[in-house]
Amino acid sequence: MARKPSAAAVDATCGPSTNRPSSRRARRSRSEACATVVIPALNEARTIASVVRFALRDPWVREVLVIDDGSVDDTADLATRAGARVVASSMLGKGISMQDGLAEASTEFVVYLDADLKGLRRAMLRALIEPLRSGEADFVKARFSRAAGRVTALTAKPLLRLYFPELSHLHQPLGGIVAARRDVLRQLRFENDYGVDVGLVIDAIKAGARVAEVDIGRITHDSQSLEALSEMACQVSRVILERAAEWGRLRLSFMRHQHEINRRQAALRPVGLRRLHGARGLALIDMDGTLLDGRFVAALGEATGRTAALSDLLDHATMDPVRRTRRIAALFKGVPKSTFEQVARSLPLMPGAIELVVGLRRRGFVVGIVTDSYRIAAETVRLRVFADFSLSHVMAFRRETATGRVTLCPFMSHQGGCEEHAICKHNVLLHLLEESGIPPSATLAVGDGENDRCLLARAGRSFAFNPKSQVVAKSARHVVRDNLRAILDLLPPGFP
């Protein structure tokens, strides 16, 4: 960790490198503009403008960046009008948005604010930044007065007291209001779920940063449902326990095994399905060849030197689909989980993929990815295109490597469902219609291949995107080529 900087050094880093103002008053004003405020935001149109204006009023703030996480309301427009620079997040999730903001920040100090804050106190930002400017701290957490958070009181603080007693004094370890030196933040790992905030403060301690907590008065956040709090508690627990294992305070093998169990359970019941209740419509979109410009398993085979063995199994017309799925999965035994994730992130998206998903969500659809591929890939793509949920088969991992065993997606089987295929995407549609009460006429499907044909034939509105055969093209109501964005133009006004 760098030594405590002098006041002159701090002011030098806060000010611009060129076009220095000539007057003493201008130099002082410019030198004080030493912080970038980063605000990750998802559908926060009610509060985003007031939070941006609040940040811009502080003379120690040089710029405000709003990292838009695929909002379908007016968040981005209102933030721009309020004076922020809006940056589209590279991937769905608060942690990724925080990293994106860090990459865009031009100052030595970075402040993170939540987009739904209310009751902000005028001196709050100065209270956060002052310990950084004076060299007393490298990482500052906000302490504020409000009704006790249940996840903080019942999950985070007990676990920190057990495994990280050096942090047990923090009043709000989960709070998203943080100020830190940019060089410190670059050393830290940004989790992409509710565990991001507690993970950052634990990693800051490990990096040798001096952590402080300052009182910023009383503020309010929007309340969350009990279901959301339950998911938050699970994710916060995972991060704390994984960090404890990495510090030698808990066996890492146990934690990773438990995380794998939780991952498989989540695949059986994705959290995003809760959004179906009360939704106006349901959209199901294929992944390979539709959202992705390519096929995930083919790219994974190329990345791992398994192309020759894989080519004998892909699209094998005479082999039972379930047997083929299991044999393909077995080929990837021993491949690290990180390779699966890297391939899923590196494959290019089809033109208009994000615009289609966000556009459908703006119209009131809940959007899901349905694929014969693996959940680890489907979830990565879901985050890239800002979809609500994904349904897929599940590759099992042990010690961060693939076992070669796959669990078939239960939503693809349905008693009394598709008469042609035991495992079929049409069965997914049936399950979700039964669960949500959405009328079949308010459903939409997009696909390109033989395994999408039954779904396309039965959805209320269907689109064959660059169809691989005439049979697939005839199964859909419309054929769209080249750009997925064109689907939005084909939807009638008011649909669904």
- Reported residue count of the chain is 496
| Contact status, residue 360 vs residue 461, Cβ threshold 8 Å | no
Distance CA 413, CA 404 (A): 22
Percent pLDDT > 70 in the chain is 89
pTM reported for the whole predicted model: 0.81
Comma-separated ranges of CATH 3.90.550.10 domains in the chain = 7-231
SS3 64: strand
Distance CA 207, CA 139 (A): 11
State yes or no: pLDDT of 487 exceeds 90: yes
Architecture of domain 7-231: Alpha-Beta Complex (3.90)
What is the greatest pairwise CA distance in the chain? Answer: 81
Distance CA 327, CA 321 (A): 10
Quick: pLDDT tens for 156-204: 998 998 889 899 889 889 888 999 999 999 999 999 999 999 999 999 9
Angstrom CA distances, 187 to 89, 207, 247, 334, 415, stand at 20, 7, 16, 30, 52
The predicted pLDDT at position 315 comes to 64
Quick: pLDDT tens for 247-301: 988 877 776 777 777 777 776 677 677 788 888 999 999 999 999 999 999 999 9
CATH code for the part of the protein at 274-490: 3.40.50.1000
Q: How many CA atoms lie within 13 A of 74 on its CB side?
A: 8
* Alpha carbon 10 to chain centroid, angstroms: 34
Comma-separated ranges of CATH 3.40.50.1000 domains in the chain = 274-490
Region of poorest pLDDT, from 185-189, 320-324, 374-378, 462-466: 320-324
Nearest to 155 by CA among 81, 216, 235, 97: 235
Angle 226-246/252-268 helices, nearest 10 degrees? 150
The predicted pLDDT at position 1 comes to 43
Residues 6 or more apart in contact with residue 219 via CB below 8 angstroms? 117, 118, 119, 120, 121, 124, 144, 146, 177
The predicted pLDDT at position 25 comes to 45
Average pLDDT, the chain: 88
State yes or no: pLDDT of 492 exceeds 60: yes
Q: Look up tokens 């149109």; give the residue.
A: 45
| Contact status, residue 176 vs residue 112, Cβ threshold 8 Å | yes
- 369 forms bridges with which residues in the sheet? 285, 390
State yes or no: pLDDT of 8 exceeds 80: no
Distance CA 219, CA 216 (A): 8
Nearest to 491 by CA among 365, 370, 373: 365
